[in-house]
Amino acid sequence: MKFKDLIDKYIWNDAQAVLLRFYPDEEKSIEEYQQVYEMLRSLQPAETKLRICIETVTDSLDGATWEDVSGKDGTTRRETAPEMEWDVERGNEEASFGIEFTDWAEWLGMEIDSQTAVRYPELAIIAHCLWEMTFVGYSREVVREKREELRTMAERVKEGKDGVKSYSAEDIEKLLEEVDEDAASQDAEGDL
């Protein structure tokens, strides 16, 4: 089953109730989520090898848990970082990829991982995916802009432009703060 099949299967009110159960703080942005949901219903899915995987993650420091949404396509960890020395077990594990910057049409074309489909009710899958796909904004354009900013940053690092050989943790934190500020301003615009 593809993500588009789930979106088409349920009406917004059903998805909204579950979204707010998992993410009650998102009530302030519920109109934006509804607009996203309606847009997803109108989009055509794009072809992709990625499938949506949701796994419960536990923080080793404080024991907090959350649902991590990622994409997998059969690539092993060893293939993603061959220069690293992986032990046999971890190196052969399937790699997970962040998909919050992925175009929404591609999200719609992703299959739901079989283990995810067994572990999570369909509406919970929708809720977790909606939260993840809107992490940087409530429109495809904002997501695209943020993806391009990251791509530009990566190219500058790779090419050593402007004498930049690498970005510091502060540079990356600044970019993430900008993403958070943009999301907050979108929230504020939604309140107007």
Residues 86 and 166 in one domain: no
pLDDT band with cut points at 50, 70 and 90 for residue 77: confident
Is the model's pLDDT at 172 over the cut of 80?
A: no
* Residue keyed to tokens 């991982």: 113
The CA R_g of the chain, rounded to the nearest whole Å, is 18
Cα separation, 20 vs 47, in Å, equals 30
Above pLDDT 70, what percent of the chain? 82
Q: Which amino acid is at 139?
A: S
pLDDT band with cut points at 50, 70 and 90 for residue 85: low
| Digit-coded pLDDT (tens) for 51-69 | 999 999 999 899 999 999 9
Residue 121 is part of which domain span? 3-135
Is the model's pLDDT at 164 over the cut of 70?
A: no
| Digit-coded pLDDT (tens) for 95-113 | 899 999 999 999 999 999 9
Cα separation, 28 vs 24, in Å, equals 9
| Digit-coded pLDDT (tens) for 120-135 | 999 999 999 999 999 9
Residues 10 and 40 in one domain: yes
Q: How many helices (H) and strands (E) does the chain have?
A: 10, 3
Report the pLDDT value the prediction gives residue 153, as an integer from 0 to 100: 81
Residue ending a domain, choose from 117, 135, 153: 135
Residue ending a domain, choose from 111, 135, 159: 135
Residues 18 and 63 in one domain: yes
Selected residue with higher pLDDT from 29 and 173: 29
DSSP string, 119-155: HS-HHHHHHHHHHHHTTT-SSHHHHHHHHHHHHHHHH
Cα separation, 7 vs 18, in Å, equals 13
